[in-house]
Amino acid sequence: MGTKDNAVLDQGFDGIEPMVFESQISVPYSWWAGDTATYFLKGLRDEKKIRALKCTSCGKTYIPPRKTCPVCFVPNTEWKDLSGTGTVQSFTIARRQLAAISKKVPVIYALIKLDGADTAMLHYIEGISPEKMKIGMKVQAEFAEDRKGTIQDIAFFKPVKEV
């Protein structure tokens, strides 16, 4: 190593502006939904139906539908149609436009336990001002006009009007 290099080391690279190398990982993905999710997503798209799978061993009804019961570890075989109404278990109102959020903030995300299911699902709440959101409120699914066989075929959940 020459003296010039040693001098650089001795200074601890002082005065050298570190370079930043811009890059990104860009890999296209095609996730196979599998037969279970496909049946569920077709139900949303073609029939505006939300379907859950029930474990015949422990009796628990899962949404998102699970091909096998994670606890009993046996295949779930019984499909159940749900009504599309449910209860908010928890929620948040995203206020800062973070990179993952595709909608314009504020966006209300909620964990919704649909009537007839034992587990809850994630989705949006719309049709209510954020300040009025409450855990325990009743909501119902609003389907999108243009449905493509994705979870967004449910456009959002909205409050059930008190009768």
Partner 1 sequence: MDKAAIIGVGMTSIEGNKVRDTFADMAWEAVNKALDDAGMNINDIDNVITTSNDFWDGRTISCMAVGDASGAAHKNVSCVEGDGTFGAFYGLTRALSGSYGTTLVTAHTKGSQSVSSLITNAAFDPIYERSLGMDMISACAMQANAYMNRTGITSEQLALVSVKNHGNAKKNPLSQMPLDITVNDVLKSEMISDPLHKLDCSPVSDACCAIIIANEERAAKHKGKPVWIKGVSFCSDAFFFGDRDLSRAPALEQAAKKAYAMAGIKNPMKEIDTAEVYDAFTYQELMWLEGLGLCADGESGRLLEKGEFAIDGRLPVNASGGLLSGHPVIAAGLIRIAEIVKQLRGEAGKYQTKNPKTGVAHGVNGLCGQSHCVWVLGKDK
Partner 2 sequence: MAKRVAIVGTGQTFHKSHRPDVNGQELINEAVQAALKDADIKISDIDAIIIGNMDHFEGINYVDCWSIDGSGGFMKPVIKITTGGTTGCSVAIGGYHLVASGLFDRVLIIGWEKNSESDTTGAITTAFDPIWDRLVFAGAISGLAAEAQAYMARYGATEKDGARVSVRDRKHALNNPHAQLRKEITIDEVLASPMLADPIHLLDVCPRTDGAAAVIMASEDSAEKITSSPDWIWATSNRHSYSYLGDADYGRLTSMREASQDLFKKGGIKEPRKEIDVIELYQPYSFGGIIWIEDMGIIGPGEGPRYIGEGNTDMGGELPINPSGGVISCNPIGATGLIRCCEAAMQVMGKADQHQVPDVNFAVSTGFGGCWWTDMILHGKKKPGK
Binding site for partner 2 (CB under 8 A): 21, 23, 25-37, 66-68, 70-71, 73
Q: Which one of the spans 3-11, 21-29, 76-84, 138-146 is the region binding partner 1 (CB under 8 A)?
A: 21-29
What residues between 62 and 81 interact with partner 1 by CB under 8 A? Answer: 62-64, 70
Beta-bridge mates of residue 109: 92, 124
Among candidates 67, 46, 43, 72, which has minimal Cα distance to 57? Answer: 72
Would you say 99 or 163 has its CB closer to partner 1? 99
State how far the Cα of 109 lies from the Cα of 95, in Å rounded to an integer.
11
| Residue from 57, 68, 87, 119 in contact with partner 1 (CB under 8 A) | 119
Q: Which two tokens stand for residue 50?
A: 């939300």
Q: How far is the CB of 159 from partner 2 (least distance, A)?
A: 31
- Residues found in the chain: 163
Give the pairing of strands 61-62 and 85-94.
Answer: unpaired
According to the binding rule CB under 8 A, does residue 99 interact with partner 1? yes
According to the binding rule CB under 8 A, does residue 121 interact with partner 1? yes
According to the binding rule CB under 8 A, does residue 163 interact with partner 1? no
Cα–Cα distances in angstroms (integers) from residue 134 to residues 18, 90, 125, 157, in the given order: 50, 8, 11, 14
According to the binding rule CB under 8 A, does residue 98 interact with partner 1? yes
